[in-house]
Amino acid sequence: MLEPTIDQIAIRDHPSLSLLAIAPAGCGKTEALALRVAALATLGTIRPPRRILVTTFTNKAKDNITERLSAYLPSSLLRERVTVANFHGLSARIFRAHANVIDMDPAAIIPDSDWVAEQCRHRNYPYPTAQKIQKILQTIKQDDISDSEVEARLLHSGETQALEIEHLRISEGRLTYHDLPRVASLILAHDAVADLYRNHFAAIIVDEFQDLTPQQLRIINRIGTGKTTYAGDLAQGIYSFAGADPAQIYAAITAECVDRIEFSESHRSSPAVLHAVNALTELTGGIHLSAARPQSWPGGGLVAKLDYTDAAAEARGVVNLCRYILERGSKLRIGVIARISNRRRFVDAAFTDSDLPFSRWDDGVLDTDTAKIIKSMLATLDATEFENSDSPLAQLRERAGLDTIQDPDTRKSLVDAIDWCHDLLQAGELPHDIRKRIRASGSSLIDITGVHLLSGHAGKGQQFDWVIALGLEDDHIPYYEAKTPELVSEEARILSVILSRARHGAFLTVAADVPNKQGGSWPKKPSRFWENLTGTYLDRTQALQWLENADWGQLQTR
């Protein structure tokens, strides 16, 4: 077990239950939170039967902090004193126990998949229509309103397709992912219920506060105002599409928390990478970071700009660069990250035609049996037949033999895989090409060496030895839909997240011309973010010299 840092000890030993911890990527936040929870559970600050609630946003984050807690607390004490839950799990618990106070049935069906997206598939809605339906239902349900008020707003909006789906949900007695926090917040508005949870949980830990929606913050405040530790980093707030509002959340919790601790030393990234990340703080709202042990990074790290005439040349150059790195360090991991996956399609095709090992994070990573079923289904599927089908999703399920599968876990895996295939086919992918993208699960993607192809949002929370940030062009990053200063700032945060995935170094690419899917071309201008990055990167010639002079033994082992 590593010796705690000064910052981690400060978090662990902070006397007040109310605390704001600014902890950027790579600064040891998860370890600090685990130390704080363990101290609260064992030093008498919180006495049984009261418990500590730790909230996360994903099952992966939940598992990660639980694993760290198990290093400091015996399993029996962990079970007795600590509750680790993501927000949907916490909301479901509140609903099951107290649905009656808002005149709802506690036996309602709790979601285990994206039911609204599934209904859109059943109805064979085009992608833009499905996205519009999902967005309006999500947006309306982020207010703490009743089912009847949801219906009234949908009726007023004129979105009849979304209203039909909402009527079906109510008639089937189910909740969706967006209903869960809505009903939980409505329930906690009742003082008697909120008092029960305030008495049960003596302290609350919120991991990644910048990802909170205002509705989720209301849930936390009803349970834990004045006894909550918020940990996160404003510069990593990149989920406004999911309802997060980093600026509003930050203002609210800074008003709540008198005490604040900032982590400013990164244990993940080289000085060169941190220099580039720091250059964006004017836009991201982040804090300036320094390397915890700057002298330990071979060559101080590297950030470089690579210009290409077009996307095809960029794709060839990226493959060659990855080959160069992997020939000198076969155990290294390289993240090739784009703002959106569509911008990455040329690089994806180039890696498919190469002999380099790569993992595409938006591919189907299936268990062995499911992979066999889906590959068999796709082998005989005719794309034209799929396009002309009255019910494409039903056709896929029939071809895969879903009705013959009885085991619930196997059925869920198969349903998810079929939905993935359906969405790719709807987007115009050919069955043969999808079949080639399927691989059976083995090692976790986190453990696999070689090249990883992913989007900026998927990379949050991950780290790679090297990062290649694709397409630093206007209309890609910042994305063309970012029309307000707030949204441009979020685009800068996405770029900051991409860069901060890198340990040793990052390469930032620009293509002067990118073909579109209609057969035309998009001339590109370099991203406006280059103005912020001036002075933080080497040019192609300087970068090549750095790579040639590098000690690859150190780069492989550090």
| 413-423 confidence digits (pLDDT tens) | 888 889 889 98
Q: pLDDT of 262-321, one tens digit each?
A: 999 999 999 999 999 999 999 999 999 999 999 999 999 999 999 999 999 999 999 999
Task: Compute the Cα dihedral for 502, 507, 508, 514 and give only its sign.
Answer: negative
Q: Above 90 in pLDDT, residue 180?
A: yes
Rounded average pLDDT over 138-165: 97
In whole numbers, what is the pLDDT of the chain averaged over residues? 93
Q: Above 90 in pLDDT, residue 426?
A: no
Q: How far apart are CA 224 and CA 197, in angstroms?
A: 9
Q: What percent of the chain has pLDDT over 90?
A: 78
User: What is the per-residue pLDDT for 185?
Assistant: 98
Q: Which residue has the higher pLDDT, 551 or 410?
A: 551
Q: pLDDT of 27-80, one tens digit each?
A: 999 999 999 999 999 988 888 999 999 999 987 788 889 999 999 999 999 999
Farthest CA pair distance, the chain: 70
Angle at 253 between CA 248 and CA 254, to 5 degrees: 100
Q: Could you give the count of Cα atoms lying within 13 Å of 48 in the half-sphere of its Cβ?
A: 7
Q: Above 60 in pLDDT, residue 475?
A: yes
Q: How far apart are CA 218 and CA 121, in angstroms?
A: 33
Question: What DSSP string describes 518-546?
Answer: TS-EEE--B-TTHHHHTTS-B-HHHHHHH
Which residues neighbour 427 within 8 Å (Cβ) at sequence distance 6 or greater? 127
- Amino acid identity of residue 382, one-letter, is D
Q: How far apart are CA 347 and CA 282, in angstroms?
A: 31
The residue behind tokens 């707003």 is: 153
Homologous superfamily of the 6-90+186-263 domain (CATH): P-loop containing nucleotide triphosphate hydrolases (3.40.50.300)
Rounded average pLDDT over 514-531: 87
Q: How confident is the model at residue 558 (pLDDT cuts 50, 70, 90)?
A: low
User: What is the per-residue pLDDT for 159?
Assistant: 96
Topology given in CATH for the domain delimited by 271-362+448-557: Rossmann fold (3.40.50)
User: What is the per-residue pLDDT for 387?
Assistant: 87
Q: What percent of the chain has pLDDT over 70?
A: 97
Q: How far apart are CA 174 and CA 140, in angstroms?
A: 17
What is the radius of gyration, based on Cα positions, of the chain? 25
SS3 content of the chain, % helix, strand, coil (to 5): 55, 15, 30
C-beta of residue 315 within 8 angstroms of C-beta of residue 456: no
Q: How far apart are CA 28 and CA 26, in angstroms?
A: 6
C-beta of residue 166 within 8 angstroms of C-beta of residue 150: yes
Kindly report which listed range (336-345, 493-502, 509-518) carries the lowest average pLDDT score: 509-518
**Strands 513-515 and 521-523, sheet pairing:** antiparallel
Q: How confident is the model at residue 443 (pLDDT cuts 50, 70, 90)?
A: very low
End-to-end CA distance of the chain: give it in Å, rounded.
18
Instruction: Cis check for the bond before 523: say yes or no (omega within 30 of 0).
Output: no
User: What is the per-residue pLDDT for 277?
Assistant: 98
Q: How far apart are CA 162 and CA 123, in angstroms?
A: 12
